[in-house]
């Protein structure tokens, strides 16, 4: 029976997430604000009903309440009721938790487990990769700081600003707000990127071989 309610509830979650986004738009009319407010109340009421129905229908009620999805369901509706009691300033941030509802969409999906199994199989290598990446990020920040601090003291102010450059560069995002201009800094960037892109290639390979292993096991 709960199966039939999954789809409309998923749409309701996506609808409430969309309303949450709309509320952040500047210059909204009073009518729209009112509509969004009532919309929110209706959504929370439905989710509250759903929460209590789930408790009533589950064979082991206490176990459901303290299970992961039970707690997610509770946290998804609690902020609305607490908003009347506690300070309104923190209201918006608490509401973020409502997004955890979206996770429920994939609740019954078995393929997600296969993926998490592959991640578990490769967790040691992924930890090393993450560690090496962090070290490379830090070393490249220190390096670029020494190359560029004199030439651009206002851009590469400290190692923390250089770290921001490292993140934007090694992920190849490259916003263009901070980049080297000296020959040394540019050559250093080249070396760091050659190493960094190689490092990015490794986890791709790790995940690929882990997924093949999981698939072979299940066959």
Which residues, numbered 74-103, are part of the site for a second copy (CB under 8 A)? 92-93, 96, 99, 102-103
Q: Could you say whether residue 147 binds a second copy (CB under 8 A)? A: no
Q: Choose among 132, 197, 141, 194: nearest CA to 167.
A: 141
The answer to whether residue 48 forms part of the interface with a second copy (CB under 8 A) is no
Contact 82, 71 (CB under 8 A): no
Q: Which is closer to a second copy, CB of 66 or CB of 187?
A: 187
In 13-150, the DSSP E strands lie at: none
Instruction: For residue 69, state whether it binds a second copy (rule: CB under 8 A).
Output: no
> What angle is formed at CA 154 by the lines to CA 153 and CA 156, rounded to 5 degrees?
65
Q: Which stretch binds a second copy (CB under 8 A): 31-39, 73-81, 82-90, 165-173?
A: 165-173
Among 108, 109, 120, 217, binds a second copy (CB under 8 A): 109
Instruction: Give the count of alpha carbons within 13 A of 35, CB side only.
Output: 7
* 3 lines the binding site for a second copy (CB under 8 A): no
Q: Which of 3, 21, 29, 218 lies at the binding interface for a second copy (CB under 8 A)?
A: 21
**Scanning residues 122 to 141, which ones bind a second copy (CB under 8 A)?**
124-128, 130-131, 133, 135, 138-139
Q: Which is nearer to a second copy, 82 or 139 (CB)?
A: 139
What does 180-219 look like in DSSP terms, one character per residue? --SHHHHHHHHHHHHHHHHHHHHHHHHHHHHHHHHHHHH-
Stretch that binds a second copy, among 21-29, 36-44, 57-65, 76-84 (CB under 8 A): 21-29
Residue 39, classified by CB atoms within 10 Å of its CB into exposed (0-12), middle (13-18) or buried (19+), is: middle
Q: Does 175 bind a second copy (CB under 8 A)?
A: yes
């Amino acid at each position: 029976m709960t199966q039939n309610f999954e789809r409309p509830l998923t749409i309701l979650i996506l609808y409430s997430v969309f309303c949450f986004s709309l509320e952040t738009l500047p210059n909204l009319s009073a009518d729209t604000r009112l509509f969004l407010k009532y919309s929110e109340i209706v959504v929370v009421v439905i989710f509250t009903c759903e929460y209590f129905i789930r408790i009533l229908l589950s064979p082991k009620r206490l176990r459901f309440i303290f299970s992961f999805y039970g707690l997610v369901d509770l946290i998804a509706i609690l902020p609305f009721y607490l908003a009347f009691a506690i300070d309104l300033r923190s209201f918006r941030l608490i509401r973020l938790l409502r997004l955890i509802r979206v996770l429920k969409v994939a609740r019954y999906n078995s393929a997600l487990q296969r993926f998490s199994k592959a991640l578990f199989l490769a967790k040691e290598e992924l930890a090393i990769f993450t560690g090496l990446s962090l070290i490379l990020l830090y070393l490249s920040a220190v390096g670029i700081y020494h190359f560029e601090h004199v030439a651009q003291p206002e851009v590469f102010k400290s190692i923390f600003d250089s770290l921001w450059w490292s993140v934007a560069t090694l992920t190849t995002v490259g916003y263009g707000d901070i980049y080297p201009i000296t020959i040394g800094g540019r050559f250093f960037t080249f070396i760091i990127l050659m190493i960094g892109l190689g490092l990015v290639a490794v986890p791709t390979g790790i995940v690929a071989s882990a997924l093949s292993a999981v698939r072979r096991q299940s066959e």
